[in-house]
Chain A
Amino acid sequence: MGNWSRFNIASIVLGFGFLYLPIVLLVIFSFNESKLVTVWAGFSTKWYTQLWHNQALLDAAWVTIRVALISATCATVLGTLAALALVRYTRFRGRMLFSGMVYAPLVMPEVITGLSLLLLFVAIGLDRGFWTITLAHITFTMCFVAVVVQSRLLSFDQSIEEAALDLGATPVRTFFAITLPVIAPAVFSGWVLAFTLSLDDLVISSFTTGPGATTLPMKIYSQVRLGVTPEINAICTILIGVVAIGVVVASIVTKQREAQRERDERAAFAQS
């Protein structure tokens, strides 16, 4: 496509600078010696060592990770099923409503989702706490998984599936032997997305939580309201680091797998 003009390069550099500068500054000032976040006073890792002695914070981190692991896994199963239903079954009763319910949570303001789930949990008499947060997270993250998996399914060559069915495989077996291996990278990135969304969520967790279940974003939020401190910068830096490493590793693994699959496919064609 045409030439990459100076204007194009400048807009990319400025745009990416805007996206990354605040995060870079936050990371830099987490290593600041001074308690003042905006005045540099020398390199120090003392805020990180302090974190290890903050038991309430560590507890919150542990709750958050457990919620994220359980909810991401359930959301991946449900979201993959939803994607299959949307792509493979173009007509069934209430399909319009179904696709609406899959897309609406993507844009629904979190205060509405949070309030409505809370009122549901109260109405059915569920004790609020760890499990209600998890159920809420499954519900809003499964739709993101569904969209990610759906886009992979749409570009999927359905004839291999039909071949398997023609050769006598049951639909269940076809799904596990043919469909799932092909869409696995998308399912995996759906899981990673659900995991990080759950890890980050503040509003929905705050509405659906009960006594004793405090997640890390809730803890961070209550401290942020009191002002900016290097200690919060340190927690944030650790979170950013974990997520960045996770995403980069995930994308490398996915790419390698796709490359491997393409090589296999070519080899298979060459043989036949």
Chain B
Amino acid sequence: MEKLLKIAAAKGCKAEVFSTREKSLSMSKVNGAVSDVSASIQSGVSLRILKDGKLGFAYTKNLIDREELVANALASLDAGVEALYNFPDSGSISFSEDYDEAVEEMSFPEIRKNLEQIESLYGEMKEGIFQASAGCETSETRIINTSGSDLFEKSSSVYGVGSMIYPGTSSGIRNIFLGKSDAEPCVSDVKRTIDFFHSSLPEIEIGDSRMKVMFAPDSMYALTWRLGTASSAKSFYEKVSPLLNKVNEQVISPLLSLVSDPTEGRTGRRLFDDEGIKTARIPVFENGVFKAVYNNLDYASKMNTKPVGTGFRGGMWGGDRVSMSPAPSLSHATFALGGKSFEEMLAMMDRGVIIYGALGAHSGNILNGDLSIGLNPGLYVENGKVTGRVKDAMMAGNIYEMLSKAIAVENAPHYTDSMYDNPAILLDDISVVGS
């Protein structure tokens, strides 16, 4: 790493080296039988160089020839990608509070034991299929640059997933458990999943109408994706955001606050982003008022503002961090908790659906905030009780209009795989189209 910086500096460049090493083991079972077992040990190094206001970028998964990596970065520099920023001096940080050495040593038999514990929570299923998966991951990230930053973080996670699949389908509802050292299940969440699964077994045709819609935490990414795209510095710089000129304006319900805070979480907290900028709590929407445009080094310099620690590698689909350039990212965003319990919110639903899975959340006009998703599954609620699941139904609307109709936010968080902890959100008068 240090040698790379020296080689780049000798060519008259400012430089940043980003490196990762990740190890994971995973196992899954279907109806009691182990179906998949896999492991992965991935590492890589990415080099960014700056010279005369231009950026060079190169990466490799296997650092054997440092000169070749620098040569690739220099060839990229010659292409003329503009970069009017410098790498930050964030000092020296070594953060490993979210790391448990024991996770590094976990074996397949231990993971299989975790799987069996998850199975025991749900008991025997008389209808449908039970899928469980469990695994562990350790991750190291180091960033050094010629400005003086030397940043290191190490984390571990153990996870478990229990999914109840409806008979004759691949659609179901699930719980995800996650922790630094173990995946402690939330027993009340599991109980609700089991209850809801049984009460939602009947398929119901609902036709076309407007009704209350609850976004369960598992489907929340469909909303945050759109809010995040609109509030990105990239969309502002390109003047295509629907939130242009709306900073400090009320754009969604006062019940809703969306916060990006990489320093919070069950594990994998980040004290610096993937460019070495220190992270912080950023209220993007506060009580429905649009407060902040988030950025990375590139767009901060273009817009003559300060970087806020939201430059991350990876997108909505994840991806190989080493091969991706840092971009403005709300990867650590979560809705602030509200004041209602899940049961109270359910009681508020005279007629409606709970969206546990959003099918096709990526195919609408995301920038404009348009959302048209298949409910997969959508649990049908009448007079505060789940009575079935809707058949072949879609929910559609524009999120700014939809989120203005929020009537309750849950007071408890739930972990999801695509997002950090999120509460459920209840919206009123939403268009649902059914068969």
Decide if A and B are genuine partners: no
Interface residues of B (CB under 8 A from A): none
Query: Which A residues have a C-beta under 8 Å from some C-beta of B?
Result: none
